């Protein structure tokens, strides 16, 4: 087994367990729409369910569930194909793609199991609220951010080599 596959397996296992465990815990100990203040005027644990995508996009569409399941399955397959083509020295890309993969898979599990996604991390500054999210969403965002930085650095390195 190559290092990129070990990274995919390890990161995915860690993120999926953390994502599903936190969602199951919130679902079992909190009533829907209830909230626990963690840091006053900044962060709450608030149990919400999201039928749509980020920011509730497509939440009312009758095709939303098949659409989101299909998109998630395509993303998972594409990521596996890309990971298979990575060079052994592309560790950051492997970690980044693994985070995106596991985040997509975590939310896919919710959509298949519940028809919607459990969100509970709720940041705000007094009355200014950011949409609630979960561990899977965080993994996707961190993965995309790291991948963008890694791609930028790799492109910079290639340009540097061309000019020498």
Note the pLDDT of residue 61: 64
Tell me if residue 119 is catalytic: yes
**Whole-prediction pTM:** 0.91
DSSP 138: H
Residue 104 dihedral angles phi and psi, to the nearest 5°: -60, -40
Q: From the candidates 19, 110, 119, 150, give the one annotated as an active-site residue.
A: 119
d(CA 89, CA 2): 11
**27 labelled catalytic:** no
Alpha-carbon gap, residue 51 to 59, rounded angstroms: 5
Residue 54 token pair = 């980020």
SS3 51: coil
What is the predicted pLDDT for the residue at 163?
A: 78
pLDDT score recorded for residue 58: 61
What pLDDT was estimated at residue 59? 60
Whole-angstrom CA distances from 144 to 33, 49, 108 are 29, 24, 18
How many residues does this entry show for the chain?
164
Give the pLDDT of residue 120. Answer: 97
pLDDT at residue 55 in the model: 55
| Catalytic site residue from 19, 27, 110, 137 | 137
From first to last of its 164 residues, the chain has per-residue pLDDT tens of 799 999 999 999 999 999 999 999 999 999 999 999 999 999 999 999 998 766 566 666 667 788 888 999 999 999 999 999 999 999 999 999 999 999 999 999 999 999 999 999 999 999 999 999 999 999 999 999 999 999 999 999 988 888 77
């Amino acid at each position: 087994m190559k290092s990129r596959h070990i990274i995919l397996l390890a990161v995915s296992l860690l993120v999926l367990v953390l994502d599903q465990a936190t969602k199951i815990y919130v679902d079992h100990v909190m009533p829907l729409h209830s909230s626990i203040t963690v840091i006053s005027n900044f962060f709450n644990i608030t149990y919400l369910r999201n039928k749509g995508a980020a920011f509730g996009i497509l939440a009312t569409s009758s095709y939303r569930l098949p659409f989101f399941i299909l998109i998630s399955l395509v993303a998972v397959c594409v990521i596996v194909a890309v990971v298979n083509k990575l060079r052994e020295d592309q560790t950051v890309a492997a970690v980044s793609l693994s985070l995106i993969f596991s985040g997509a898979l975590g939310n896919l599990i919710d959509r298949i199991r519940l028809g919607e996604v459990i969100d509970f991390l709720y940041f705000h500054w007094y009355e200014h609220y950011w949409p609630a999210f979960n561990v899977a969403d965080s993994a996707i965002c961190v993965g995309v951010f790291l991948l963008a930085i890694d791609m930028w650095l790799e492109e910079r390195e290639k340009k540097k080599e061309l000019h020498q």
